[in-house]
Chain A
Amino acid sequence: MLDIKEYKKISLDFRRVASNFLRTEYTNQDIPLQRFYSYIEKESTIKNIILNKIDGVDYDFHDCFGKDEFGRSYIDIPLDEEKHIKAMYDYLSYIVENNVSLYSLSMDFPCGSKKITDYLQNFIDLAFKPLIDYIQDELSKLMIMVEEEKMGIDMSNNQGVINYAKDNSVIKSDNVINHNTLEEIANVIESIKDTIKNVDIDKDEKDNVLDDIELVQEQLQCSIEKPARLRKAFNNIKSFLTNSALLTGAGITLAENINELVTIVQPFIDKIA
Protein backbone atom coordinates (compact mmCIF):
# COMPACT_ATOMS: atom_id res chain seq x y z
CA MET A 1 0.00 0.00 0.00
CA LEU A 2 1.25 3.48 -0.87
CA ASP A 3 2.04 6.33 1.49
CA ILE A 4 -0.86 8.74 2.21
CA LYS A 5 1.00 11.53 0.40
CA GLU A 6 1.20 9.38 -2.72
CA TYR A 7 -2.52 8.72 -2.61
CA LYS A 8 -3.23 12.42 -2.13
CA LYS A 9 -1.10 13.23 -5.14
CA ILE A 10 -2.81 10.57 -7.27
CA SER A 11 -6.23 11.82 -6.14
CA LEU A 12 -5.36 15.42 -7.02
CA ASP A 13 -3.88 14.45 -10.40
CA PHE A 14 -6.82 12.21 -11.20
CA ARG A 15 -9.34 14.90 -10.29
CA ARG A 16 -7.46 17.33 -12.50
CA VAL A 17 -7.53 15.11 -15.62
CA ALA A 18 -11.10 14.00 -14.90
CA SER A 19 -12.27 17.62 -14.53
CA ASN A 20 -10.57 18.59 -17.78
CA PHE A 21 -12.20 15.63 -19.49
CA LEU A 22 -15.66 16.57 -18.18
CA ARG A 23 -15.06 20.17 -19.31
CA THR A 24 -14.06 19.17 -22.84
CA GLU A 25 -14.75 21.95 -25.33
CA TYR A 26 -15.31 22.01 -29.07
CA THR A 27 -11.88 23.53 -29.64
CA ASN A 28 -9.91 20.81 -27.83
CA GLN A 29 -12.26 17.83 -27.91
CA ASP A 30 -9.86 14.89 -28.23
CA ILE A 31 -6.96 16.03 -26.03
CA PRO A 32 -8.66 15.74 -22.60
CA LEU A 33 -10.03 12.34 -23.59
CA GLN A 34 -6.57 11.07 -24.61
CA ARG A 35 -4.99 12.46 -21.46
CA PHE A 36 -7.66 10.97 -19.24
CA TYR A 37 -7.30 7.53 -20.80
CA SER A 38 -3.52 7.73 -20.80
CA TYR A 39 -3.48 8.69 -17.10
CA ILE A 40 -5.73 5.76 -16.17
CA GLU A 41 -3.54 3.37 -18.13
CA LYS A 42 -0.25 4.66 -16.69
CA GLU A 43 -1.25 5.11 -13.06
CA SER A 44 -1.18 1.59 -11.65
CA THR A 45 -3.26 2.44 -8.55
CA ILE A 46 -6.16 3.62 -10.69
CA LYS A 47 -5.73 0.88 -13.24
CA ASN A 48 -5.86 -1.66 -10.40
CA ILE A 49 -9.01 -0.08 -8.95
CA ILE A 50 -10.73 -0.68 -12.29
CA LEU A 51 -9.24 -4.11 -12.97
CA ASN A 52 -10.11 -5.37 -9.47
CA LYS A 53 -13.72 -4.36 -10.07
CA ILE A 54 -14.10 -5.87 -13.52
CA ASP A 55 -11.96 -8.96 -13.05
CA GLY A 56 -13.85 -11.98 -14.42
CA VAL A 57 -16.81 -9.89 -15.61
CA ASP A 58 -18.07 -10.93 -19.02
CA TYR A 59 -19.97 -8.04 -20.61
CA ASP A 60 -20.00 -6.43 -24.05
CA PHE A 61 -20.03 -2.61 -23.89
CA HIS A 62 -22.28 -2.55 -26.99
CA ASP A 63 -25.08 -3.78 -24.72
CA CYS A 64 -24.70 -0.61 -22.65
CA PHE A 65 -23.83 1.89 -25.40
CA GLY A 66 -26.00 0.99 -28.38
CA LYS A 67 -27.98 2.37 -31.29
CA ASP A 68 -31.68 1.88 -31.90
CA GLU A 69 -33.31 0.94 -35.22
CA PHE A 70 -33.36 4.60 -36.28
CA GLY A 71 -29.62 5.00 -35.67
CA ARG A 72 -30.06 7.04 -32.49
CA SER A 73 -27.61 6.33 -29.67
CA TYR A 74 -28.76 5.27 -26.24
CA ILE A 75 -27.25 4.16 -22.96
CA ASP A 76 -28.80 1.13 -21.29
CA ILE A 77 -27.09 0.97 -17.91
CA PRO A 78 -26.77 -2.60 -16.59
CA LEU A 79 -28.00 -3.35 -13.07
CA ASP A 80 -24.64 -4.77 -11.91
CA GLU A 81 -22.14 -2.02 -11.12
CA GLU A 82 -19.26 -4.29 -12.24
CA LYS A 83 -20.79 -4.60 -15.71
CA HIS A 84 -21.36 -0.86 -15.89
CA ILE A 85 -17.76 -0.10 -14.91
CA LYS A 86 -16.50 -2.63 -17.47
CA ALA A 87 -18.74 -1.19 -20.18
CA MET A 88 -17.52 2.37 -19.52
CA TYR A 89 -13.86 1.35 -19.39
CA ASP A 90 -14.10 -0.79 -22.55
CA TYR A 91 -16.01 1.95 -24.38
CA LEU A 92 -13.37 4.49 -23.40
CA SER A 93 -10.60 2.17 -24.63
CA TYR A 94 -12.52 1.54 -27.86
CA ILE A 95 -12.94 5.29 -28.57
CA VAL A 96 -9.27 6.10 -27.91
CA GLU A 97 -7.71 3.09 -29.61
CA ASN A 98 -9.87 3.46 -32.72
CA ASN A 99 -9.63 7.25 -32.87
CA VAL A 100 -13.40 7.55 -32.85
CA SER A 101 -14.54 11.16 -33.01
CA LEU A 102 -15.99 12.33 -29.71
CA TYR A 103 -17.88 14.98 -31.65
CA SER A 104 -19.76 12.53 -33.86
CA LEU A 105 -20.58 10.30 -30.89
CA SER A 106 -21.86 13.16 -28.79
CA MET A 107 -24.09 14.54 -31.57
CA ASP A 108 -26.06 11.26 -31.52
CA PHE A 109 -27.23 11.86 -27.96
CA PRO A 110 -30.12 14.21 -27.21
CA CYS A 111 -29.05 17.43 -25.52
CA GLY A 112 -31.06 20.43 -24.33
CA SER A 113 -28.66 22.88 -25.95
CA LYS A 114 -27.55 23.66 -29.50
CA LYS A 115 -23.91 24.36 -28.58
CA ILE A 116 -21.40 21.73 -29.64
CA THR A 117 -19.49 22.09 -26.37
CA ASP A 118 -22.70 21.33 -24.47
CA TYR A 119 -23.28 18.24 -26.64
CA LEU A 120 -19.75 17.03 -25.88
CA GLN A 121 -20.04 17.66 -22.14
CA ASN A 122 -23.50 16.10 -22.02
CA PHE A 123 -22.21 12.93 -23.69
CA ILE A 124 -19.11 12.65 -21.47
CA ASP A 125 -21.24 13.23 -18.39
CA LEU A 126 -23.74 10.55 -19.38
CA ALA A 127 -21.19 8.03 -20.57
CA PHE A 128 -18.21 8.39 -18.23
CA LYS A 129 -19.08 10.38 -15.10
CA PRO A 130 -20.04 7.21 -13.16
CA LEU A 131 -16.59 5.76 -13.91
CA ILE A 132 -14.92 8.93 -12.59
CA ASP A 133 -17.11 8.89 -9.47
CA TYR A 134 -16.30 5.22 -8.84
CA ILE A 135 -12.53 5.75 -9.14
CA GLN A 136 -12.65 8.83 -6.93
CA ASP A 137 -14.70 7.03 -4.27
CA GLU A 138 -12.30 4.09 -4.24
CA LEU A 139 -9.30 6.43 -3.94
CA SER A 140 -11.00 8.14 -1.00
CA LYS A 141 -11.58 4.79 0.69
CA LEU A 142 -7.91 3.85 0.23
CA MET A 143 -6.85 7.20 1.70
CA ILE A 144 -9.13 6.74 4.70
CA MET A 145 -7.68 3.27 5.33
CA VAL A 146 -4.11 4.54 5.14
CA GLU A 147 -4.89 7.50 7.40
CA GLU A 148 -6.40 5.21 10.01
CA GLU A 149 -3.39 2.92 9.87
CA LYS A 150 -1.09 5.91 10.20
CA MET A 151 -2.99 7.13 13.18
CA GLY A 152 -2.22 3.71 14.66
CA ILE A 153 -5.24 3.53 16.86
CA ASP A 154 -6.43 0.11 17.76
CA MET A 155 -9.05 0.42 20.39
CA SER A 156 -10.54 -2.87 21.42
CA ASN A 157 -13.18 -1.07 23.38
CA ASN A 158 -14.96 -4.12 24.68
CA GLN A 159 -11.82 -6.14 25.23
CA GLY A 160 -10.33 -3.77 27.75
CA VAL A 161 -7.22 -2.36 26.07
CA ILE A 162 -6.54 0.57 23.80
CA ASN A 163 -3.27 0.44 21.90
CA TYR A 164 -2.20 3.78 20.63
CA ALA A 165 0.78 4.74 18.48
CA LYS A 166 1.57 7.69 16.24
CA ASP A 167 4.48 8.44 13.92
CA ASN A 168 6.17 5.08 14.50
CA SER A 169 6.25 5.49 18.27
CA VAL A 170 5.99 2.45 20.54
CA ILE A 171 2.49 1.19 21.15
CA LYS A 172 1.39 1.80 24.71
CA SER A 173 -1.22 -0.29 26.45
CA ASP A 174 -1.82 1.88 29.44
CA ASN A 175 -5.23 3.17 28.39
CA VAL A 176 -8.25 1.19 29.33
CA ILE A 177 -11.70 1.68 27.89
CA ASN A 178 -13.90 -1.13 28.96
CA HIS A 179 -17.54 -1.85 29.58
CA ASN A 180 -17.41 0.09 32.81
CA THR A 181 -16.06 3.22 31.20
CA LEU A 182 -18.60 3.11 28.40
CA GLU A 183 -21.35 2.47 30.93
CA GLU A 184 -20.12 5.35 33.03
CA ILE A 185 -20.21 7.62 29.97
CA ALA A 186 -23.70 6.38 29.07
CA ASN A 187 -24.93 7.15 32.61
CA VAL A 188 -23.48 10.66 32.59
CA ILE A 189 -25.03 11.32 29.19
CA GLU A 190 -28.43 10.16 30.45
CA SER A 191 -28.12 12.57 33.39
CA ILE A 192 -27.16 15.39 31.01
CA LYS A 193 -30.20 14.64 28.81
CA ASP A 194 -32.49 14.69 31.85
CA THR A 195 -31.04 17.87 33.32
CA ILE A 196 -30.80 19.88 30.13
CA LYS A 197 -34.60 19.77 29.75
CA ASN A 198 -34.93 22.03 32.79
CA VAL A 199 -32.28 24.54 31.77
CA ASP A 200 -33.35 27.73 30.05
CA ILE A 201 -31.29 27.56 26.83
CA ASP A 202 -32.18 28.09 23.21
CA LYS A 203 -33.50 24.87 21.61
CA ASP A 204 -30.87 24.95 18.85
CA GLU A 205 -28.11 25.24 21.43
CA LYS A 206 -29.54 22.27 23.32
CA ASP A 207 -29.79 20.20 20.16
CA ASN A 208 -26.24 21.10 19.14
CA VAL A 209 -24.67 20.11 22.45
CA LEU A 210 -26.71 16.88 22.58
CA ASP A 211 -25.58 16.05 19.04
CA ASP A 212 -21.97 16.61 20.06
CA ILE A 213 -22.38 14.48 23.17
CA GLU A 214 -23.92 11.66 21.13
CA LEU A 215 -21.11 11.91 18.60
CA VAL A 216 -18.53 11.55 21.39
CA GLN A 217 -20.34 8.48 22.69
CA GLU A 218 -20.57 6.93 19.21
CA GLN A 219 -16.90 7.53 18.49
CA LEU A 220 -15.79 5.92 21.74
CA GLN A 221 -18.03 2.96 21.02
CA CYS A 222 -16.59 2.47 17.53
CA SER A 223 -12.89 2.77 18.42
CA ILE A 224 -12.64 6.41 17.30
CA GLU A 225 -13.11 6.00 13.59
CA LYS A 226 -13.12 9.76 13.09
CA PRO A 227 -10.62 11.33 15.53
CA ALA A 228 -10.95 14.82 14.02
CA ARG A 229 -14.70 14.81 14.53
CA LEU A 230 -14.39 13.47 18.06
CA ARG A 231 -11.98 16.27 18.92
CA LYS A 232 -14.23 18.88 17.35
CA ALA A 233 -17.33 17.65 19.18
CA PHE A 234 -15.39 17.47 22.45
CA ASN A 235 -14.17 21.07 22.04
CA ASN A 236 -17.74 22.18 21.32
CA ILE A 237 -18.91 20.54 24.55
CA LYS A 238 -16.16 22.28 26.50
CA SER A 239 -17.13 25.62 24.92
CA PHE A 240 -20.71 25.02 25.98
CA LEU A 241 -19.55 25.08 29.62
CA THR A 242 -19.01 28.84 29.31
CA ASN A 243 -22.75 29.34 28.72
CA SER A 244 -24.15 31.70 31.35
CA ALA A 245 -27.24 29.53 31.78
CA LEU A 246 -25.03 27.01 33.57
CA LEU A 247 -24.40 29.40 36.45
CA THR A 248 -27.81 29.17 38.09
CA GLY A 249 -30.48 26.62 39.04
CA ALA A 250 -30.59 23.40 37.04
CA GLY A 251 -27.73 24.78 34.98
CA ILE A 252 -25.32 24.12 37.87
CA THR A 253 -26.21 20.39 37.89
CA LEU A 254 -25.88 20.29 34.12
CA ALA A 255 -22.43 21.92 34.31
CA GLU A 256 -21.36 19.32 36.88
CA ASN A 257 -22.52 16.47 34.63
CA ILE A 258 -20.80 17.92 31.57
CA ASN A 259 -17.62 18.45 33.59
CA GLU A 260 -17.76 14.81 34.64
CA LEU A 261 -18.11 13.74 30.99
CA VAL A 262 -15.20 15.99 29.99
CA THR A 263 -13.02 14.46 32.73
CA ILE A 264 -13.77 10.92 31.51
CA VAL A 265 -13.28 11.66 27.82
CA GLN A 266 -10.25 13.99 28.11
CA PRO A 267 -7.63 11.15 28.27
CA PHE A 268 -8.83 9.77 24.93
CA ILE A 269 -8.68 13.23 23.35
CA ASP A 270 -5.12 13.68 24.67
CA LYS A 271 -4.13 10.44 22.99
CA ILE A 272 -5.37 11.48 19.56
CA ALA A 273 -4.12 15.07 19.78
Chain B
Amino acid sequence: MADIEFKFQIEADDDGYVSYECPFCKSTFSLNASEVQKDDPVYTEMYCPYCGLNDVPTNFYTKEVIEQTQNIAMNYMIDEINKAFKKITKNNNKYVKMTYKPLKNQSIKDLKTKEGTEEIFECKNCSNHVKVDYYLGKTKVYCAFCGIDIC
Protein backbone atom coordinates (compact mmCIF):
# COMPACT_ATOMS: atom_id res chain seq x y z
CA MET B 1 0.00 0.00 0.00
CA ALA B 2 1.30 3.42 -0.93
CA ASP B 3 2.33 5.85 1.79
CA ILE B 4 -0.18 8.58 2.44
CA GLU B 5 1.13 12.00 3.32
CA PHE B 6 -0.74 14.43 5.56
CA LYS B 7 0.18 18.06 5.96
CA PHE B 8 -0.71 20.31 8.84
CA GLN B 9 0.42 23.67 10.13
CA ILE B 10 1.58 24.92 13.51
CA GLU B 11 1.18 28.61 14.14
CA ALA B 12 4.38 30.16 15.49
CA ASP B 13 4.52 32.75 18.26
CA ASP B 14 5.14 36.44 17.60
CA ASP B 15 8.88 35.83 17.23
CA GLY B 16 8.37 33.03 14.71
CA TYR B 17 9.11 30.19 17.13
CA VAL B 18 7.29 26.85 17.50
CA SER B 19 7.23 24.57 20.54
CA TYR B 20 9.01 21.26 20.97
CA GLU B 21 9.17 18.82 23.87
CA CYS B 22 12.20 16.77 24.90
CA PRO B 23 11.46 13.02 24.88
CA PHE B 24 14.00 12.50 27.68
CA CYS B 25 13.41 15.25 30.25
CA LYS B 26 9.97 16.38 28.98
CA SER B 27 11.00 20.05 29.06
CA THR B 28 9.52 22.33 26.43
CA PHE B 29 11.44 24.81 24.31
CA SER B 30 10.90 26.68 21.06
CA LEU B 31 12.81 26.85 17.80
CA ASN B 32 12.71 29.32 14.96
CA ALA B 33 10.39 27.82 12.35
CA SER B 34 12.46 29.03 9.40
CA GLU B 35 15.63 27.51 10.87
CA VAL B 36 13.95 24.15 11.49
CA GLN B 37 12.59 24.02 7.94
CA LYS B 38 15.90 24.83 6.26
CA ASP B 39 16.70 22.67 3.25
CA ASP B 40 20.42 23.08 3.64
CA PRO B 41 21.45 21.54 5.93
CA VAL B 42 18.56 19.21 6.70
CA TYR B 43 18.61 18.38 10.40
CA THR B 44 18.24 14.68 11.00
CA GLU B 45 18.59 14.93 14.76
CA MET B 46 17.81 17.43 17.45
CA TYR B 47 19.26 18.17 20.89
CA CYS B 48 17.33 19.19 23.98
CA PRO B 49 18.57 22.66 25.07
CA TYR B 50 18.11 21.67 28.72
CA CYS B 51 19.48 18.13 29.12
CA GLY B 52 21.55 18.09 25.91
CA LEU B 53 20.44 14.60 24.85
CA ASN B 54 19.55 13.99 21.22
CA ASP B 55 16.99 12.11 19.17
CA VAL B 56 15.33 12.34 15.76
CA PRO B 57 13.32 15.58 15.32
CA THR B 58 9.98 13.77 15.12
CA ASN B 59 10.45 12.54 18.69
CA PHE B 60 10.58 16.16 19.86
CA TYR B 61 7.02 16.91 18.79
CA THR B 62 4.76 18.10 21.57
CA LYS B 63 1.81 16.06 22.84
CA GLU B 64 -0.56 18.43 21.03
CA VAL B 65 1.18 17.86 17.69
CA ILE B 66 1.15 14.07 18.14
CA GLU B 67 -2.53 14.20 19.07
CA GLN B 68 -3.20 16.31 15.98
CA THR B 69 -1.42 13.86 13.66
CA GLN B 70 -3.34 10.95 15.20
CA ASN B 71 -6.63 12.78 14.70
CA ILE B 72 -5.80 13.58 11.07
CA ALA B 73 -4.93 9.92 10.41
CA MET B 74 -8.07 8.80 12.22
CA ASN B 75 -10.22 11.16 10.12
CA TYR B 76 -8.67 9.79 6.94
CA MET B 77 -9.53 6.27 8.10
CA ILE B 78 -13.10 7.30 9.01
CA ASP B 79 -13.57 8.96 5.60
CA GLU B 80 -12.38 5.83 3.81
CA ILE B 81 -14.71 3.59 5.84
CA ASN B 82 -17.64 5.93 5.24
CA LYS B 83 -16.89 5.98 1.51
CA ALA B 84 -16.76 2.17 1.38
CA PHE B 85 -20.07 1.73 3.18
CA LYS B 86 -21.74 4.39 1.04
CA LYS B 87 -20.65 2.46 -2.01
CA ILE B 88 -22.09 -0.78 -0.62
CA THR B 89 -25.46 0.81 0.14
CA LYS B 90 -25.76 1.89 -3.49
CA ASN B 91 -26.14 -1.78 -4.40
CA ASN B 92 -29.39 -2.14 -2.41
CA ASN B 93 -32.10 -4.05 -4.21
CA LYS B 94 -35.58 -5.33 -3.39
CA TYR B 95 -34.16 -8.41 -1.61
CA VAL B 96 -31.22 -6.92 0.30
CA LYS B 97 -31.22 -3.51 1.85
CA MET B 98 -28.29 -2.11 3.80
CA THR B 99 -28.15 1.11 5.77
CA TYR B 100 -25.25 2.64 7.60
CA LYS B 101 -24.63 5.51 9.97
CA PRO B 102 -21.56 7.50 8.92
CA LEU B 103 -18.82 7.77 11.54
CA LYS B 104 -18.08 11.26 12.78
CA ASN B 105 -14.72 12.93 12.24
CA GLN B 106 -12.46 13.93 15.13
CA SER B 107 -12.17 17.66 15.67
CA ILE B 108 -8.99 19.25 14.38
CA LYS B 109 -7.87 22.24 16.39
CA ASP B 110 -5.50 24.95 15.23
CA LEU B 111 -2.06 24.39 16.68
CA LYS B 112 -0.76 27.60 18.15
CA THR B 113 2.49 28.24 20.00
CA LYS B 114 1.81 30.01 23.27
CA GLU B 115 3.70 33.15 24.16
CA GLY B 116 5.92 32.63 27.19
CA THR B 117 8.66 34.26 29.22
CA GLU B 118 11.40 32.43 27.39
CA GLU B 119 14.67 33.99 26.26
CA ILE B 120 16.23 33.63 22.83
CA PHE B 121 19.84 32.43 22.67
CA GLU B 122 21.99 32.32 19.56
CA CYS B 123 24.47 29.52 18.93
CA LYS B 124 27.91 30.90 18.06
CA ASN B 125 28.74 27.67 16.27
CA CYS B 126 25.82 27.29 13.83
CA SER B 127 24.10 30.71 14.26
CA ASN B 128 20.74 29.05 14.92
CA HIS B 129 18.52 30.10 17.79
CA VAL B 130 16.74 28.43 20.68
CA LYS B 131 14.10 29.94 22.91
CA VAL B 132 14.32 28.53 26.41
CA ASP B 133 13.09 29.35 29.86
CA TYR B 134 15.59 31.70 31.43
CA TYR B 135 15.28 30.37 34.97
CA LEU B 136 15.16 26.70 34.04
CA GLY B 137 18.43 27.02 32.18
CA LYS B 138 20.36 27.29 35.41
CA THR B 139 23.37 25.32 34.34
CA LYS B 140 23.74 25.12 30.59
CA VAL B 141 21.78 25.82 27.46
CA TYR B 142 22.62 23.60 24.48
CA CYS B 143 22.02 24.37 20.83
CA ALA B 144 19.12 22.25 19.57
CA PHE B 145 20.77 21.93 16.15
CA CYS B 146 24.45 21.22 16.77
CA GLY B 147 24.43 20.28 20.47
CA ILE B 148 27.18 22.74 21.48
CA ASP B 149 26.63 24.53 24.77
CA ILE B 150 25.51 28.11 24.19
CA CYS B 151 25.78 29.52 27.70
Contact = CB atoms under 8 A, between A and B. Distances in A.
Nearest to A16: B54
Chain B interface category by residue count: 10 to 19
B140 interface: yes
B57 to A, nearest CB: 13
B148 A136 contact: no
Interface stretch (B45-53, B61-69, B73-81, B93-101): B45-53
Contacts of A15: 47, 52-54, 142, 147
A64 to B, nearest CB: 22
Contact of A8 (B24, B54, B149): B149
Interface in B117-151: 119, 139-140, 142, 147-149, 151
A168 B151 CA distance: 21
B139 A11 contact: no
B55 interface: yes
Helix, strand, loop or mixed for chain A's interface? helix
A23 B140 CA distance: 23
A140 B151 contact: no
A137 B54 contact: no
Contacts of A228: 151
Interface string B10-52: 0000000000000010000000000000000000000100011
Interface residues of A, number: 21
B24 A22 contact: yes
A190 interface: no
A133 interface: yes
Given A16-B54, A19-B54, A136-B52, A143 B147 contact: no
Residue among B53, B139, B140 with the highest chain A CB neighbour number at 10 A: B53
B148 A8 contact: yes
A240 B17 CA distance: 23
A19 B53 contact: yes
Nearest to A141: B139
Contacts of A18: 53
Interface string A116-138: 00000000000001001100110
Contacts of A140: 139-140, 149
B139 to A, nearest CB: 4
B148 A143 contact: no
Q: Which 3 A-B pairs have the closest CB atoms?
A: A140-B139, A19-B53, A19-B54
Given A15-B147, A129-B24, 5 more contacts: A8-B149, A11-B149, A19-B54, A23-B55, A136-B52
29 contacts: A8-B148, A8-B149, A11-B149, A12-B147, A12-B148, A15-B47, A15-B52, A15-B53, A15-B54, A15-B142, A15-B147, A16-B54, A16-B147, A18-B53, A19-B53, A19-B54, A19-B55, A22-B24, A22-B53, A23-B55, A133-B51, A137-B139, A140-B139, A140-B140, A140-B149, A143-B140, A143-B149, A144-B139, A228-B151
